[in-house]
Amino acid sequence: MSKYSYMTQEGFDKFRAELEALKGEGRQSAAKAIGEAREKGDLSENAEYDAAKEAQGLLELKISQMEKILSTARVIKQEDLDASSVVILSTVKIKQVKTKKTVEYTLVSQSEANLREGKISVDSPIGKGLLGKVVGDIAEVHTPRGVMEFEILDIAINL
């Protein structure tokens, strides 16, 4: 993983709002669940208390990870990007050489990836294989299912 997390302004704002919600409402909910479980008696045999404490630990871990990502976040603006080759935040139209199937992806940071929205991480196998390629290049992508080849049909910067 790179030392910076590159994001759009929209992605950065959304990520920060999610973090603030976890720190506010998430922590309050966890504390309430622990308090309710504590009222049910002996803590040494209280499965609800153990589950609530574990959920609190997982919440704090997620908050810590999100804070680390935000601390290294760099917001990228469209005017800073060059559409001559595939870079983070490029929208790339590719054709699988073997099946001739055409798809379009936008390369984003791992925290913004969402396949349903056509956003894939630059750290994913396809993302890594596409970075630095230009229109007309054939990208060899090493996936768990083997090597796949994609032809780069178009590159655009659409933020």
Give me the residue spans of the domains in the chain.
5-75, 78-157
How far, CA to CA in Å, does 42 sit from each of 21, 31, 32, 55?
A: 32, 18, 17, 19
How do residues 26-68 score in pLDDT, each as one tens digit?
A: 999 999 988 888 887 776 777 888 888 899 999 999 999 999 9
* CATH T-level topology, domain 5-75: Helix Hairpins (1.10.287)
Helices 9-21 and 47-71, axial angle in degrees (round to 10): 150
**What pTM was computed for the model?**
0.67
Other residues' Cβ atoms within 10 Å of the Cβ of residue 23: 15
Question: CB of 86 within 8 A of CB of 155?
Answer: yes
**Residue linked to tokens 């630990």:** 57
Candidates 3.10.50.30, 2.40.240.20, 3.40.50.80, 3.30.360.10; correct CATH number of 78-157?
3.10.50.30
Q: Which amino acid type is present at position 54? A: E
